[in-house]
Amino acid sequence: MPRARPGPAVTGEAFRRAYAERFAEYHLAWWLFFVGHMADLRTQLGDLEDALPLAAFGPGPLAEKLRVARRAGDAGALAYGARPVNKGWTNARRLAEVTGIPRETVRRKLEGFRRRGWVEQAEDRSWRIALRPDGSAPLSADMKAANAEFVAGLARLMAEFRRIEISAQG
């Protein structure tokens, strides 16, 4: 099957307009992806609310990893499961602010993640994703299957959005 050629970049406004014009198609595709992903997370984590504090750890270390990889010209450092950067410490208060989950609930969840080996706490009571001596993260290994399903679902969503876009053009 021939690969679709990339079309012109879609601006935010153009996408909003297309989404409104073909709402049923776009929204059904989005809904199938989103609900499926939430169900997968609930299955993997046991409690869907666990996903928020875990996700809140991500932006700082990912931004730092991207910055370091760009400076070094090392695209391989951006791969899933690649050695994380050693930054990314945060605290329960910040995670509560970002997620909207009460701080005591965040603390209980962090303790549960610590018992799973996913996070570690410093003496100053800050937290980060736990790392093994080789620099790998147990959380990455434990979530590998869920992440693969997420990426597969995201690929399906992007392909369906592209199909809708192409069908709208002609």
- DSSP for 19-62 reads HHHTHHHHHHHHHHHHHHHHHHHHHHHSSGGGHHHHHHTSHHHH
Contact (Cβ atoms closer than 8 angstroms) between residue 77 and residue 65: yes
Contact (Cβ atoms closer than 8 angstroms) between residue 119 and residue 128: yes
For residue 112, what are the CA distances in angstroms to 46, 135, 150? 11, 22, 23
What pLDDT was estimated at residue 1?
A: 39
Q: Which residue has the higher pLDDT, 2 or 52?
A: 52
Contact (Cβ atoms closer than 8 angstroms) between residue 4 and residue 162: yes
Q: pLDDT > 70: what percent of the chain?
A: 89
Q: What is the pTM of this model?
A: 0.76
Contact (Cβ atoms closer than 8 angstroms) between residue 106 and residue 92: yes
Asked: is 50-136 a CATH 3.40.50.300 domain? The reply is no
Dihedral of the alpha carbons of 103, 107, 108, 112, in degrees to the nearest 10: 140
Q: Whole-angstrom Cα distance, residue 33 to residue 35?
A: 6
Q: Whole-angstrom Cα distance, residue 114 to residue 98?
A: 20
Angle at CA of residue 147, ends 142 and 149, nearest 5°: 120
| Confidence at 3, pLDDT banded by 50, 70, 90 | very low
